[in-house]
Structure 1
Amino acid sequence: MEMVVLPGRRARRLRRPSAREAGTALLFILPCLALFVVFRFGPAIAGVVLGFTDYTIGGDTGWVGLENFRRLVDDPTFWSAVRVTVVFTLLSVPLSMLASLGMALLTRRAFRGAKIFRSIFFLPVVTSLVLAGVVFTWVFAEGGPWSSLMAGLGLPAGSWLADSVLVIPALVFVSVWSRFGYGMLILLARLQEIPAELEEAARTDGASAWQRFRYVTLPQLRPALFFVAIIETTVSFQVFDTVYVMTGGGPVRASYTLVYMLYDQGFRYFDLGYASAIGVALFVMTVVVALIQRLTLGREK
């Protein structure tokens, strides 16, 4: 028996549910649990299995073993897509995390209009990426606002989306703009949980603002930063919407990512077995990067 005291009320005893009651509760939960398992893990398992077949829509399916993965190793398009995806991730994740951390530190204090600023910063997260891609296609087009700004600064004023070197920075800009609000919200929640006494004690001991951030705030943020890093890395590896809308993988496949290659193989060429193998390779890459991040950011003392 367990005694619980509720404010303003008499103490009352709460008993543990019996096995029969727990079974009844599980019975009610079971339909939702079954749907979650079927529609969450079923497609993932089917995708792994299809990676070992030559499955195509409307055709015969046969078991080919590791043949699809051998094709990946020998496919220069695959390695080009890996390079583009890795470069995009290496640029997008740190910039997004820096923007998230900066905005969280900027809005952590209570001031007039703080909630309005937080809402504005979070707004891109709930904005359709397709709509954002259409708008930013116009922004980065030749003769668009960005091109005019570059011309005013005396820099090359062509379309960034038509330049094989500048197309990835343009996509990274859109990605950071659309994602930093989510990380800001996570870090802001963690910042507000840090006891104010810690910073006050450091300030009393003569610590500068940078020292207080480095030795007091940053260690407290480590679990939240690890979570944001995992989420941002996963999203960056799976970038597709903006690439599909803004560049179509071009120019000359300079923005041809792994997920776009998966889309091409599966839904343009209907080689779903090979597309599934690409998905498996992408999953393995994401897990490996997550483990590396776990050993660095997520390591506990």
Structure 2
Amino acid sequence: MTKSRSHQTQLLDNDTVAAWIFLTPALILLGLFIIWPIAYLFYLSFTAGSFTSKGTYLVGLKNYWRLLFNADFWQVLGNTAYFTIATVIPSLIIPLGLAVLLNRSLALRGVLRSAYFLPSIISLVAAGLGFRWLFQTTGPVNSFLNIFGIPSIPWLGDTFWAMPVLILLSIWKQLGFNMVVFLAGLQAIPPSRYEAAELDGANGWQQFWHITLPGLRSTLIFAIVTTAIFTLRSFEQVYVITGGGPLNTTNLLVYYIYQEAFGQFDFGYAAAAATVLLAVTLVFVYLQLRTWGEES
């Protein structure tokens, strides 16, 4: 008995050592490219100065106090919240509806899936330049509106319309990816569930609510989290199309961090704003996972 336990312990130790050996390269890369940058960012948020011969020095919570009492930061935070909510909700509802329709169409599923997915592989910079051309004052969108007697709208120069252009681009960019994800989730639901529901007299809406949505729970979690992260880190749209204007109404948090770090060279303040962005993202992901996990 003692010999058998000793052998099992030795085997367990060998397996543990082997596991650590195989995990070590991944852990090193994780530490170098994720954990260390995050830790250095957090440290940098408590400093001021620049990366010159003078160097940086600790200032405590000064950068966070500046954020707290900076009206521009709160405007940017509001812009980011508006942009995120207005992008995430349509980026989930529209692809889900398209996926349900495509799942019933076997003939054109492959062609339409490729067509809808195409925007996802296009560079955001190229897409941004395309949208900037479409929505300029003398662009095709206004030319089309003029046909119906609608006067030209200064899309990119108006404080009300500039943000919807960015939102439309982000939805268009994310739509195909989410649709493919939802389509894969739908195909994993057993057809027998729908057949049984039809025999019980359930209509299409009842089948969608009681079979499709519960069957897509894990897929929805993935889509919500990835879409929210994609939206919160948005930078290219603002940089290419509006530059944060007009009157700071399209300035998002990532672009604001870029301006403060590489425009004003205020790296400590930018690091504090980036830390806030990281915290908001982590809290959002945690709440989503906890909420959907409790419902499952």
TM-score by length of structure 2 reads 0.90
Task: Determine if the alignment matches structure 1 residue 87 to structure 2 residue 82.
Answer: yes
What is the correspondence of 1:217-256 to structure 2 with a 5 Å cutoff?
A: 217-256=212-251
**Aligned-residue offset at 1:57:** 2.5
Task: Determine if the alignment matches structure 1 residue 140 to structure 2 residue 135.
Answer: yes
1:124 to 116, 119, 125: 119
What is the correspondence of 1:116-195 to structure 2 with a 5 Å cutoff?
A: 116-195=111-190
Task: Determine if the alignment matches structure 1 residue 52 to structure 2 residue 40.
Answer: no
Provide the C-alpha distance between the structure 2 equivalents of 1:100 and 1:147, rounded to a whole number of angstroms.
27
Task: Determine if the alignment matches structure 1 residue 76 to structure 2 residue 76.
Answer: no
Structure 1 partner of 2:5: none
**Residues 181-225 of structure 1: per-residue CA shift (max 9 Å, x gap):** 221122111111111111111111111111111111112112211
Structure with the largest fraction of helix: 2
Residue identity opposite 1:48 in structure 2: F
**Residues 215-272 of structure 1: per-residue CA shift (max 9 Å, x gap):** 1111211221122111111221111111100110011111011111100010111111
**Aligned-residue offset at 1:95:** 0.7
Provide the C-alpha distance between the structure 2 equivalents of 1:82 and 1:186, rounded to a whole number of angstroms.
30
Task: Tell me how large the CA RMSD over aligned residues is.
Answer: 1.9
Provide the C-alpha distance between the structure 2 equivalents of 1:104 and 1:283, rounded to a whole number of angstroms.
32
Residue identity opposite 2:181 in structure 1: I
Percent identity between matched residues is: 37
Secondary structure (helix, strand or coil) at the match of 1:165 reads: coil
Provide the C-alpha distance between the structure 2 equivalents of 1:299 and 1:152, rounded to a whole number of angstroms.
53
Provide the C-alpha distance between the structure 1 equivalents of 2:269 and 2:234, rounded to a whole number of angstroms.
19
**Aligned-residue offset at 1:149:** 2.3
Provide the C-alpha distance between the structure 2 equivalents of 1:273 and 1:224, rounded to a whole number of angstroms.
38
1:197 to 192, 197, 201: 192
Secondary structure (helix, strand or coil) at the match of 2:160 reads: coil
Provide the C-alpha distance between the structure 2 equivalents of 1:152 and 1:91, rounded to a whole number of angstroms.
29
1:33 to 27, 41, 63: 27
Structure 2: 5+ residue stretches without partners: 1-10
**Aligned-residue offset at 1:60:** 2.4
Provide the C-alpha distance between the structure 2 equivalents of 1:180 and 1:55, rounded to a whole number of angstroms.
42
Structure 2 partner of 1:7: none
Structure 1: 5+ residue stretches without partners: 1-16
Residue identity opposite 1:76 in structure 2: A
Secondary structure (helix, strand or coil) at the match of 2:295 reads: coil
Structure 1 partner of 2:106: 111
Counterpart contact for 1:225–1:297, Cα < 8 Å: no
Structure 2 partner of 1:257: 252
Higher mean alpha-carbon deviation, 90-99 vs 229-238, is at 229-238
Counterpart contact for 1:226–1:298, Cα < 8 Å: no
Provide the C-alpha distance between the structure 2 equivalents of 1:155 and 1:220, rounded to a whole number of angstroms.
45
Residue identity opposite 1:112 in structure 2: A
Counterpart contact for 1:57–1:270, Cα < 8 Å: no
Structure 1 partner of 2:36: 42
Structure 2 partner of 1:212: 207
Residue identity opposite 1:71 in structure 2: R
Provide the C-alpha distance between the structure 1 equivalents of 2:26 and 2:219, rounded to a whole number of angstroms.
30
**Aligned-residue offset at 1:22:** 6.2
TM-score by length of structure 1 reads 0.88
**CA separation of 1:19 and 1:288: change in aligned 2, threshold 3 A:** closer
Q: Which runs of 4+ in 1 moved over 6 A?
A: none
Provide the C-alpha distance between the structure 2 equivalents of 1:292 and 1:151, rounded to a whole number of angstroms.
46
**Residues 56-110 of structure 1: per-residue CA shift (max 9 Å, x gap):** 2213211111110000001011001001101101100001111221221122235
Provide the C-alpha distance between the structure 2 equivalents of 1:165 and 1:244, rounded to a whole number of angstroms.
18
Provide the C-alpha distance between the structure 1 equivalents of 2:37 and 2:258, rounded to a whole number of angstroms.
16
Question: How many residues align structurally?
Answer: 285
Secondary structure (helix, strand or coil) at the match of 1:54 reads: strand
Counterpart contact for 1:187–1:224, Cα < 8 Å: yes
**Aligned-residue offset at 1:143:** 1.6
**CA separation of 1:300 and 1:68: change in aligned 2, threshold 3 A:** same
Structure 1 partner of 2:96: 101
